Structure 1
Amino acid sequence: MPENAVPPATLPAPVARPSPAVVVWALAVCLGLQPLTTDLYLPALPGIKAELGASMSGVQLTLSALLLAFGFGQLLLGPLADRIGRRPVLIGGLLGYAVSAIGCLLAPGIEALVAWRVLQGLCMAAAVVCARAMVRDLFVPRDGMRVLSQGLSGLGVIALSSPLLGGLVVTAFGWRAAFVVLWLFAVATLAFIVLALPETIPRKNPAATRPGPLLAAYGRIARDPTFLAFASLTTATYAGLFTFLAASSFVFIEVLGLSRVAYGLAVASSSVAYLGGTFACRHWLARHGVRGTVKRGSVFTLAGGLSMAGLALAGVHSAWAIVLPQALFAFGHGIHQPCGQAGAVGPFPQEAGTAAALNGFVLAMGAFGVGAWLGVALDGTVMPMTLAVGFWALVTTLIAWTLVQRHGDPAAAAASVG
């Protein structure tokens, strides 16, 4: 057999198909690990900066380095999950995540904290990429969007509670206590996966991690117009959300003078809107299809981003002038993410892990760039954050109204690939 030839896919040992409730719960906790990892300790960032004597760029690196590792980790772990199955990669990632949370808890300085956050990002990649691939294992693209929106509703609940819980924990016990909460969540998720979630991959691919076939698969996926449309959509909308998340603790606490608990409530309001968006997504998918749903969601995205930027340019620098527009943006985000994540993987039923990994990598690189920019752009005012959210809202809307409308049919793309 030639070196780069793909051997026949092998069938795993028979496993029980998970119930819909188990799938939704698994999606919620595995995908929810990402906002928990970023949002829970947002109220702690000013405290980390003060206690560890770190620069603004150093503190931002605890977020951007995490996302850099998260992106590259998916490129490695997605194909590995196609080769050996979702379950071993997922369990190994959760074990490593628990270890990294303890490392962050005990970190003596900003350099050590960044290093442990890198490991945390790699392990978080295992949970997220396996969850996205699992949707394609079990469902056709349109059903996958509906189920993924249910899982992302659970993620919304986690995102809703994370900043408020983080504000309470950090206020009562200090910034290190945030990582105790992350450790507890990782252990509980690991127990659930071990006890309740069987293997979902329909066929393992022994060649999935071989360099030749892997590079060929990445090239083929990256050239697919449906993948490009939905990957661009998820990346742009998450870049806007990450701009808000990464900058908001400094803007709300240091610039606008909110307490940590009040800040947690402000961010939680965005999560409530995001949760509403995931419910609207399921309703609109049934009535308007994928393209119509994404087009309607982008109206909220654009209204939120432009109103936030417009109010800031008009000199209205207050918490409500950020919170209310951000709620509109987050509502749109709750529509774009389930459609975009399932849509990007939809054309590739036999390479779901690899496609999910490439989508996640592109998304993480976008967020990494945002974090690096914020490290030098934050200037003690609301302007960098508000203008950037407006910019990403405009980009997201343009993608939704052009690329997704032209190429946003993952079912048809899957048929053509097949």
Structure 2
Amino acid sequence: MGPSLVVLLLSLMLGIQPITTDLYLPALPELTRGFGAAPGQAQLTLTSLLLAFGISQLGWGPLADRFGRRPVLLTGVALYTLASVGCALAGSLASLLVWRAVQGAAMGAAVMGARAIVRDLYEPQQGARTLSMALGGLGVIACVSAPLGGWVSDALGWRWALAVLAVFGAALFALLAARFTETLPPQRRAPLNAAALVRSWATILRNRRFQAASALAITSYAGLFTFLASSPFVFMQVLGLSGVQYGLALFSISAVYIVGTFICRRLLVRLGMRRAVMLAGAVTLLAVTSMALLALAGVRSVWAILVPFWLYMLAHGVHQPCGQAAAVAPFPHAAGAASALNGFLMMVVAFLMGAWLGQQAGGSVRPLVLGVWFWGSALALVAWTLIRRHGEAPGA
């Protein structure tokens, strides 16, 4: 596979996550009314997806290390397509939750596989730059997803917004079947052995670079998840935006994220990963503190949330490529397992945050703002301590 094809496939495999979350977010209030559910119950359609997504990677990772990336990817994407059809046809909220969990579990194969493929093909520094390009492609998918979801849900209803995911899954399956070439050679495949797998996980979890990189990826994603889980109700029900307007707000966030991935590639060349992340950590802290101060001062405006979050997403474009690439870098012979553990930890934290958000009273911007402030502050601390000490291999 040529470099352009690799980046395209990685973008689509990683992009399966934002399209699965972002495209249906503008439809979430309508879905809530359609099932007669409370906002906290409807948010379970997001948190159940992400919990299944995180747990499933613990299984997909070892399978990909044993049988190769291609069979795992094809199986996962086929299951994702089937689950997407089930979501669109769900007759109750309980049925939708089950299909969303299956969808999340299947999604884990694509995202875990993408991160493992980067380690198969590239050394750490080049891997971070390649992953940055792929995450830029992810940003393009996210840009399209939210406005498309807003338009489809306003024009045709929330079921059609979920049906679009089945089309995406089928197209990705066809492309992988036709163009993806296996990246894990037979001599680097690991046998399926429960005891060896537990030892491998223990080794990975004890690794200082893995701990630092995972903490960076977790805190950065947790802040984004807090925004995504809360913003449909805050922007549309509290601040009065339409579905299309909300979709455009998410479009702007994704566009800024793409700019952040471009900046990431330049900073990696000029500063190296450690200094790039520390600089972006300062931008994150400025963003979340500004948002929190405006909310505590009683400023009730879309712009008081959106503009600071643009800054957050600019830095997120640095943190995610660096965090995800660095987490698997020390483990060339267990990239699938390292990728799976990294993804699992990210999604467990997101699930717990979603459970907390579901218990908060509606009609206020404060759960969103204070949640983003907490994770942004934690991210800055990680960047200036753990990444500073363990972010790069000795001599990098």
> TM-score, normalized by length of structure 2?
0.98
Equivalent residue, structure 2, for 1:252: 235
Find 2:28's aligned residue among 45, 50, 54: 45
Instruction: Please tell me whether the aligned partners of residues 85 and 204 of structure 1 are also in contact (alpha carbons under 8 angstroms).
Output: no
Could you report, residue by residue, the CA deviation over 1:330-356 in whole angstroms, capped at 9, with x for unpaired residues?
Answer: 111110000000000000000000000
Find 2:207's aligned residue among 183, 204, 224: 224
Instruction: Please tell me whether the aligned partners of residues 68 and 189 of structure 2 are also in contact (alpha carbons under 8 angstroms).
Output: no
Instruction: Please tell me whether the aligned partners of residues 327 and 342 of structure 2 are also in contact (alpha carbons under 8 angstroms).
Output: yes
Instruction: Letter of the 2:299 partner, please give it.
Output: V
The question of 1:137 aligning with 2:112 is answered no
Over 2 Å off, 4+ runs = 202-209, 410-413
CA distance in 1, matches of 2:187, 2:307: 47
Equivalent residue, structure 2, for 1:128: 111
The question of 1:364 aligning with 2:347 is answered yes
Q: Secondary structure at the match of 1:348?
A: coil
Structure 2 vs 1, CA of residues 271 and 394 (structure 1 numbering), >3 Å: closer, same or farther?
A: same
The question of 1:32 aligning with 2:15 is answered yes
Q: Secondary structure at the match of 2:264?
A: helix
Instruction: Letter of the 2:135 partner, please give it.
Output: L
Structure 2 vs 1, CA of residues 411 and 345 (structure 1 numbering), >3 Å: closer, same or farther?
A: farther
CA distance in 2, matches of 1:191, 1:327: 35
The question of 1:318 aligning with 2:279 is answered no
Larger mean CA deviation between 53-62 and 317-326 belongs to: 53-62
Instruction: Letter of the 1:384 partner, please give it.
Output: P
Could you report, residue by residue, the CA deviation over 1:203-227 in whole angstroms, capped at 9, with x for unpaired residues?
Answer: 4666543110000000000000000
How far the C-alpha of 1:370 sits from its partner, in A, is 1.1
How far the C-alpha of 1:26 sits from its partner, in A, is 0.8
The question of 1:280 aligning with 2:266 is answered no
Equivalent residue, structure 1, for 2:178: 195
Query: Equivalent residues in 2 for 1:56-205 (5 A)?
Result: 56-203=39-186
CA distance in 2, matches of 1:306, 1:31: 30
CA distance in 2, matches of 1:302, 1:166: 31
Find 2:314's aligned residue among 308, 331, 334: 331
Structure 2 vs 1, CA of residues 208 and 387 (structure 1 numbering), >3 Å: closer, same or farther?
A: farther
How far the C-alpha of 1:378 sits from its partner, in A, is 4.1
CA distance in 1, matches of 2:345, 2:303: 32
Kindly, what percent of the aligned residue pairs are identical? 51
CA distance in 1, matches of 2:139, 2:194: 37
Equivalent residue, structure 1, for 2:288: 305
**CA-atom RMSD in angstroms:** 1.2
The question of 1:266 aligning with 2:266 is answered no
Q: Secondary structure at the match of 2:330?
A: coil
Instruction: Please tell me whether the aligned partners of residues 97 and 119 of structure 1 are also in contact (alpha carbons under 8 angstroms).
Output: yes
Q: Secondary structure at the match of 1:409?
A: coil
Could you report, residue by residue, the CA deviation over 1:210-257 in whole angstroms, capped at 9, with x for unpaired residues?
Answer: 110000000000000000000000000000000000110000000000
CA distance in 2, matches of 1:317, 1:255: 9
How far the C-alpha of 1:56 sits from its partner, in A, is 2.2
Structure 2 vs 1, CA of residues 204 and 97 (structure 1 numbering), >3 Å: closer, same or farther?
A: farther
Instruction: Letter of the 2:114 partner, please give it.
Output: A
Equivalent residue, structure 1, for 2:37: 54
Instruction: Letter of the 1:120 partner, please give it.
Output: Q
CA distance in 2, matches of 1:55, 1:102: 24
Equivalent residue, structure 2, for 1:11: none
Larger mean CA deviation between 49-58 and 339-348 belongs to: 49-58
Equivalent residue, structure 2, for 1:350: 333
CA distance in 2, matches of 1:237, 1:73: 21
Q: Secondary structure at the match of 2:359?
A: helix
Equivalent residue, structure 2, for 1:19: 2
CA distance in 2, matches of 1:299, 1:82: 37
Could you report, residue by residue, the CA deviation over 1:85-144 in whole angstroms, capped at 9, with x for unpaired residues?
Answer: 000000000100000000001100100000000000010000000000000000000000
Instruction: Letter of the 1:372 partner, please give it.
Output: A
The question of 1:377 aligning with 2:360 is answered yes
Q: Secondary structure at the match of 2:158?
A: coil
CA distance in 2, matches of 1:35, 1:363: 14
Instruction: Please tell me whether the aligned partners of residues 81 and 130 of structure 1 are also in contact (alpha carbons under 8 angstroms).
Output: yes
Structure 2: tracts of 5 or more residues without a match? none
How far the C-alpha of 1:306 sits from its partner, in A, is 1.0
Instruction: Letter of the 2:383 partner, please give it.
Output: A
How far the C-alpha of 1:195 sits from its partner, in A, is 1.0
CA distance in 1, matches of 2:118, 2:327: 12
CA distance in 1, matches of 2:23, 2:209: 34
How far the C-alpha of 1:380 sits from its partner, in A, is 1.2
CA distance in 1, matches of 2:63, 2:80: 18
